[in-house]
Amino acid sequence: MNIGAFTRNIYPLGWMRNPYVRRLPEHYLKHRLELTKPPVRVHDDPTTGDLLDYKLTDAKTLRIERVPDLPVATQKLQTSDEAILGGEDVVFGFSLPKRQLFRDSGVRNAKVWMPNIYRTTVYSEVLDTYLSIVCTKHALNLIHEAHGFDNYILRTPIQDLQSKLALKLRRKMLITLAKNDFHPNDPEKFELVKNKYQDCKIPLEEAEWIGLSWAQAIEKNHESTYKQSEPLKVKYINDLVKKLEDLKASGEMPEQKSEPQSLLDRAKSLLHLR
Q: Is the pLDDT of residue 72 over 70?
A: yes
Quote the pLDDT of residue 7: 47
User: Is residue 5 pLDDT above 60, yes or no?
Assistant: no
**Of 232, 235, 169, 178, which is closest to residue 201 (Cα–Cα)?**
178
Residues above pLDDT 90, as percent of the chain: 29
Summarize the confidence of residues 83-89 as an average pLDDT: 90
State mean pLDDT over 79-104.
84
The full 3-state SS of 110-162, as one line of letters, equals EEEECCCEEEEEEEECCCCEEEEEEEEHHHHHHHHHCCCHHHHHHHCCHHHHC
Q: Give the model's pLDDT for residue 79.
A: 85
- Tell me: pLDDT of 51 over 70: no
3-class DSSP state for residue 11? coil
pLDDT at 76 over 70: yes
Q: What is the reported pLDDT for 126?
A: 92
Whole-structure pTM value: 0.71
Q: Which of 190, 191, 217 has the alpha carbon at shortest distance from 205?
A: 217
pLDDT at res. 271: 58
**pLDDT reported for residue 65:** 75
- Average pLDDT of span 13-20: 61
End-to-end, the C-alpha distance of the chain in Å comes to 37
Share of the chain above pLDDT 70, in %: 79
pLDDT for position 157: 92
Distance (Å, whole) CA 18 – CA 15: 5
Average pLDDT, integer, range 103-111:
77
The confidence score (pLDDT) of residue 227 equals: 67
| pLDDT at position 20 over 70 | yes
Residue 67 pLDDT exceeds 50: yes
pLDDT of 262? 61
Q: Answer whether residue 140 shows pLDDT above 90.
A: yes
- From 212, 136, 133, select the one nearest 171 (Cα to Cα): 212
Distances (CA, A) of 144 to 87, 138, 150, 194: 16, 10, 11, 21
* Mean per-residue pLDDT, 126-150: 93
More confident residue, 7 or 135: 135
State the pLDDT at residue 210.
92
Contacts of 131 by beta carbon, 8 Å cutoff, 6+ apart: 121, 122, 123, 124, 149, 169
**pLDDT tens by residue, 143-200:** 999 999 999 999 999 999 989 999 999 999 999 999 988 888 888 989 999 999 999 9
